[in-house]
Amino acid sequence: MDRPLSSSGAHAVWLGWLFLSAGCAVIDVNHAQPLDPEQRFVLLPVENYSEAPQAGEKVEAILTTMLRARRLPVERLDPPAAEVAPELDEERRYQRGLESARPSGARYGVTGTVIEWRYKNGLDADPAVSISLRVVEVDSGKVVWSASGSRTGWGSDSLGAVAQVLLRDLVAEMKFTRSPDSE
């Protein structure tokens, strides 16, 4: 005895499909204070605590684009000239970036941590990304804004695409004293 689906049942199926097709995401934000978009922002190194090599650098590249898309004037600083080989100690890499940003006159530094950057095990090999972002005062190193998020996609999604959506969502949570989009 097949019964046709009621309109409320059809809506429930459609909403369930919509939820599942979007992947899963979790975001937590700490709004300590609104940021002043007229101040200088620099991109600091993003620490990589995932098992994937160079995930921090990949996040830095995507993050720069996401911040500039919001018309936030973020600058990328060149690594110190003496650094020939890449720094493998993530904390030291961050501290060197913060030290090199201090003479730049920037007020804020945007940084973060990659916690997960991988394809899950299994038949579908779904991409999974977990990232924490922070905005720090360059002079003091004090965290003035932070957010963390995790997102998974489907087997056909790339890690970069899942990370881009997550970073876009995290950056959208930044609060400003006025909109950086207004001119």
Q: What is the reported pTM? A: 0.80
Q: Are strands 127-137 and 108-119 parallel, antiparallel or unpaired?
A: antiparallel
pLDDT, mean of residues 104-127: 92
Is residue 83 in some structural domain?
yes
pLDDT in tens, 162-181: 999 999 999 999 999 887 66
Is residue 57 in some structural domain?
yes
In this predicted structure, what is the pLDDT of residue 165? 96
Q: In CATH, what number is assigned to the domain containing residue 89?
A: 3.40.50.10610
Q: Convert 22-61 into a string of H (helix), E (strand) and C (coil).
A: CCEEEEEEECCCCECCCCCEEEEEEEECCCCCCHHHHHHH
Q: Range of 82's domain?
A: 23-172
pLDDT in tens, 93-110: 899 999 999 999 999 999
Is residue 7 in some structural domain?
no
Structural domain count, the chain? 1
In this predicted structure, what is the pLDDT of residue 51? 94
Is residue 71 in some structural domain?
yes
Is residue 166 in some structural domain?
yes
